[in-house]
Chains A and B, each alone.
Chain A
Amino acid sequence: MENNLLSLIIFAPLAGAAINWFLGRRLRNEKFIGVIACGAVAVSTVVAFYLAFKSGGALRSTEPVFDNLWTWIQVGKFRADFGLAMDRLSGTYALFVTFVGFLIHVFAVGYMQKDQGFYRFFAFLNLFMFAMLTLVLADNFLLMFVGWEGVGLCSYLLIGYYIDRKEAGDAAKKAFITNRVGDWGFVMGIMLTFFLTGSISFFDKPAQGVTSALQTIAGMSAVDPFTWHAIFAGGVTSIAILLFIGAAGKSAQIPLYVWLPDAMAGPTPVSALIHAATMVTAGVYMIVRCSAIYTHAPTAMFVVAVIGAATALFAATIGLAQNDIKKVLAYSTISQLGYMFLACGLGAFTAAIFHVITHAFFKALLFLGSGSVIHGMHHEQDMRSMGGLKKYMPITFATMLTGWLAISGIPIFAGFFSKDEILWRTWSAGTFSLPSPPWSKALWFIGALTALLTAVYMTRMMVMTFWGSERFREKHVDHVDNASGIHDDAHHDDHAVHEPHESPWLMTAPLVVLAILSTIGGFIGVPYALGSLAGLHPTNYIEQTLGPVIAKVPGGKTESEPAAAEPIWLSHPPQTTDSAPAFVSLDETAASHSAEEIHGERLLALVSVAIAVLGIVFGWIIFRRRPLLALPRILENKYYVDEIYDATVINPINAGSREGLWKIFDVGVIDGFLHTIGEVVLEGGRAIRHLQGGFVRAYAAIILLGALAVIGFFAYYGVHAMRLLP
């Protein structure tokens, strides 16, 4: 189906960005800028919801909504359209990106008030929405890459938003350069895809004569064998690995995660929007979009799963020992992204997307909450100088409480369902993408351990921030604030104690909405095993919606969606909105769930809950008494990874560039060569200059000589001068 409204979703924020950049900078009126920025995203949100849910919309039929704007590049067989497509996957993504994005925009209006670069901030933020939605709604790899680079650029601009701070600039550069490594993989993956399939489109579009690259790969009957050689064989596995390198850069996985903690140098709404809810999940989106490729490349899936699990655990341990409230959340984000990749690697693509959505809710909530705290604390973000804030900031506290419970995995809250889903899929994963069955148990153990650590460090964060003694009253100790250094100088001129205060409604209202979503958002994906426990038979909306557009792992656990292409809940519209679907009694075929499986899933859910509760209790007991407990140095210093990178990668490259490339190759070889040529040209030019004496008689003589030379040439050689030429 073709619908031109689709392009409005991406162009509304672009228009907002343009208006704020050109008009907002003149007007300098915060109200105007804020309304334009939020209004632009609101338009996107409304259009996205309309196109997704109207009759025959993206989420209600198997046909994607297309909007083919123009043919962008066509060279021989290579064709890239500037075309958008909203299918169930991109539709789901567009919905939460626009909605969460809108809330964060509203929050930012409050957070950024009286900032010098207000217009610049919102122009960039809108530009980011444009790029992110282009990434999501692109109907081919190349346009997706445009969005991919666009979000990278906006991320760079916004991390470095505080242009007068060196660490912000450094962090921005680090983010950009690290992402370039990933982009290399992505581009190579796209090229290899085109090389193998002759197409870069995600969808079949017969009207334009475009065939889908993904369908072509899915049509290849053979699945690459599970061998390590397949990675370098130049086949589907190579594509999958290259694309994963791209995803690892954007989604901060080992070894390319180092930029994300530093990216916290940007304003907090940026951290919430870009570095928690949306951009960093682009890697997950890309992999799920390419699920047809991954399900043909088990080796690549194994790599994804292992990297994901390793990242999850690794980042969680570091998060345990950070003192900067945003750094804790940054490492938590990396860790949660690891979960998503773990799920992807095991073929549980829907579970990954489910976790992306719930994570967008609760992590945006936690980041905005921390922003509210930082705002209330007058730009203090070291948790050692906080404490006892729940009295001063009741709304922030209450909302962050739900975020905390959600991320820890307490039942009812959103995070529980998605995380439990991933853990269950891990436990019960087949051997399609794993070398042997024990691997699934080992990966599950890492996941469970990470869940425990998550509960512990989140409890630590909450306790240090909201409970305990009011440490901000103590005299500002010149603590070494581990290079976080986001202190507004304007607030440092006097060292008097600032009373913390609750934030204005513009900031708390989005918190409340996100808190509600963090609480009930999980109900869109309640598995049968848990729903039936309560005597209900809820529909697993997320699986039903995404199931038809995502490739299945052959021979592995099938996801439990019914065969019908049309989800059940759509043919019988529920009375309530999607936020409270649990009370809609739609019968799911119990036959598709064996009793043994249901039993196992319930048991594992119980274990997850136990782990979460254990983690919270553990954290409470330790940190309630000793909130400033010193944790192992190696954790606080992030395993010295930055230092190791400096020593092994960055310094050698610097030295090699300086001593070798510059001093020897550039100066010696290139310059020497060019200077010689330049001298020749210059001498030639001077010689020509001498001819130009300024006398008309000389000029006329030269013209005559020229004409005579031509005539002489033909007179001598006769006609058909072409014969003489090669």
Chain B
Amino acid sequence: MFLLQANTTALFNVADLQLIAPELILTVCACLALVMEVILPYRKSKLVAWFSLLGVGLAFVSLGLQWWSVADSLPLDGFYGMVRIDGFALLFKAIFLVGAALAIAISTRYLDIEGEQHGEYYALVLFATVGMMFLACGYDLIVLYISLELMALTFYVLVAFTKREKRSNEAAMKYFLLGAFSSGILLYGMSLLYGIAGSTNLGEIGHSVAAIVSATPLGEATGPSLRPMLLLGMIALAAGLFFKIAAVPFHMWAPDAYEGAPTSVTAFLSTGSKAASFALYARIFIEAMNSMRADWAPLLGLVAAITIMVGNWAAVTQENSKRLLAYSSISNAGYLLLGLVAGNSYGYTGLMIYLLVYTLMNMGAFGIVISLRRRGIIGDNVDDMAGLAQKAPGMAAMMTIFMLSLGGLPITGGFIGKYFLFGGLLQRGAAEGKSWYYWLAGWAIINTVVSFYYYIRFIKVMYLGDRIADDKPLALSPALQTALGVSVAGIIFIGVYPQPLINLTQKLIAPLAAIGAVALK
């Protein structure tokens, strides 16, 4: 602060720092966590976990204050338009913080079991969260790309965190190679966009794109145009992001990485990273390229349809529960894409709510998987849950709720999310008079039925499995139990009384919905 004030020719307004206060808090906490790790003896490493949790809590408070103080003057731009704080960003940041807190809570016990209780783990989680949060509020391609890489790089390390585990290393390697590959594609798309628009600011890109699109009316050959170039850029961006959210056919890394990574990292990877990628997706495609909806909506719709199918069908045959959940996560990416395809208030509301609920239920499901793990025994197979209902009825009941919510049964939050996602598609179909939206929604619903097969398989194994896996107590810790309880409570609350969340979400994403709702001609 002192330095900044001394330098009167500072290039940015000090007040802008307030805009990124939660990120600053997290960054400071992450750095402190690294220092603590060096100072503290190994057996006290867990203190770092509590400290990180505190950091997340502080960031959440600061986010809340931010929302409370600037709610009426949104959106706020800062750092010369590099950062934009709006309802969309606030909501996503809240989801990331919830995810980070749950991830830390379910990690402590797991790392004990693995014998890898190191403080830098929590620092890395915090750094990844910072990356995610900038993905939500970045409004400039440079910021967005750097944030994406910050998140991705920390995740490469986290996936390899159980360094003595061969599978963990292999998973990290695959993830890293393919991630770098896809980053290249993404960056190529970004550079094309920059070349066309002459700016890295999303708003300005949006204007340029709109101008180019309107200059190229449908079906008329009007000489040389930037339109094909734009299309190529869009495809490259879409492909890069398909990789990040693990959509088919860019999903191949996900099952291997999810299976090999430490389970607590898998949980965070499948929720936080996915949500952040969706934030990026929504930002770029809505703010910068909405005028190209006619091009990208069918592409996303097609990919969503394939993703939903492949994710669900492949999950049916899996025996390893982490791998099964990985495919489930792929199929959920497909459902979430439907929100972008719908591109209206319902669709975005569905995207937001489903991401929040998805964070809760996936964290919960992986939390249960963690609780089954003991040193030397992996406990990752679906059949390892046999007889869980007798051994730990509370755990089994919670797992049942997570599974039913993932399947989208009413009175769970999963239902509310899917309801809005599918409802958005139907509304868009009615608004544009296009029937393929209906077919897409129908296809998604049919595949939801398929998904029940493998979700209910967990329930069946837990309650009807005749073999009690063993009678050793579960690897529970208060933090893990609290995380599970919070997840269950959140899912049920959102499912039973969703109105407050719906109202809040619709209010916050109203500007985006206004952009997306411009009907196509």
Contact = CB atoms under 8 A, between A and B. Distances in A.
Contact of A703 (B243, B314, B520): B243
Given A696-B178, A700-B178, A689 B235 contact: no
A698 B297 CA distance: 28
Given A682-B316, A703-B239, A710-B238, 7 more contacts: A684-B313, A688-B310, A691-B252, A698-B252, A714-B231, A720-B218, A721-B294
Interface of B: 173-174, 177-178, 181-182, 185, 216, 218-219, 227-228, 231-232, 235-236, 238-239, 242-243, 248-250, 252-253, 255-256, 294-295, 297-299, 309-310, 312-317, 434-436, 439, 450, 453, 499, 520
A688 B316 CA distance: 11
Most chain A CB within 10 A, of B232, B235, B236, is at B235
B490 to A, nearest CB: 19
Nearest to B247: A706
A694 B166 CA distance: 14
13 contacts: A681-B312, A681-B316, A682-B316, A682-B317, A685-B316, A696-B174, A700-B181, A703-B182, A706-B248, A706-B249, A706-B250, A721-B298, A722-B297
Contact of A721 (B243, B295, B316, B435): B295
A551 B299 CA distance: 64
Interface in A671-699: 678, 681-682, 684-686, 688-689, 691-692, 694, 696, 698-699
A699 to B, nearest CB: 4
Interface in A701-726: 702-703, 705-707, 710-711, 714, 719-726
Interface secondary structure of B, over-half rule? helix
A694 B252 CA distance: 9
A711 B295 CA distance: 12
Nearest to A71: B499
A719 B227 contact: yes
Contacts of B499: 71
B235 A719 contact: no
Contacts of B232: 711
Nearest to B240: A707
Contacts of A699: 174, 178, 252-253
B235 A707 contact: yes
Contacts of B316: 681-682, 685
Interface secondary structure of A, over-half rule? helix
Nearest to A693: B252
Contacts of B173: 696
Nearest to B221: A718
Contacts of A694: 256
Nearest to B243: A703
A698 B243 CA distance: 15
Contacts of B177: 696, 700
A723 to B, nearest CB: 7
A719 B298 contact: no
Contacts of B435: 726
Contacts of A721: 294-295, 298-299
Interface of A: 71, 678, 681-682, 684-686, 688-689, 691-692, 694, 696, 698-700, 702-703, 705-707, 710-711, 714, 719-726
A421 to B, nearest CB: 45
A100 B236 CA distance: 75
Contact of B249 (A682, A696, A705, A725): A705
Nearest to A700: B181
A721 to B, nearest CB: 5
A694 B174 CA distance: 9
B434 A681 contact: no
A689 B436 contact: no
A69 to B, nearest CB: 12
B450 A681 contact: yes
Contacts of B520: 722
Nearest to B256: A694
A688 to B, nearest CB: 4
Given A699-B174, A722-B298, A726-B436, A681 B185 contact: no
A705 B298 CA distance: 19
A685 B252 contact: no
A293 B219 CA distance: 64
B252 A692 contact: yes
B313 A725 contact: no
Contact of A681 (B219, B227, B297, B453): B453
A519 to B, nearest CB: 48
Contact of A711 (B219, B235, B294): B235
Nearest to B253: A699
Given A685-B317, A694-B256, A719 B453 contact: no
Contact of A678 (B178, B243, B310, B453): B453
A689 B314 contact: yes
Contacts of A681: 312-313, 316, 450, 453
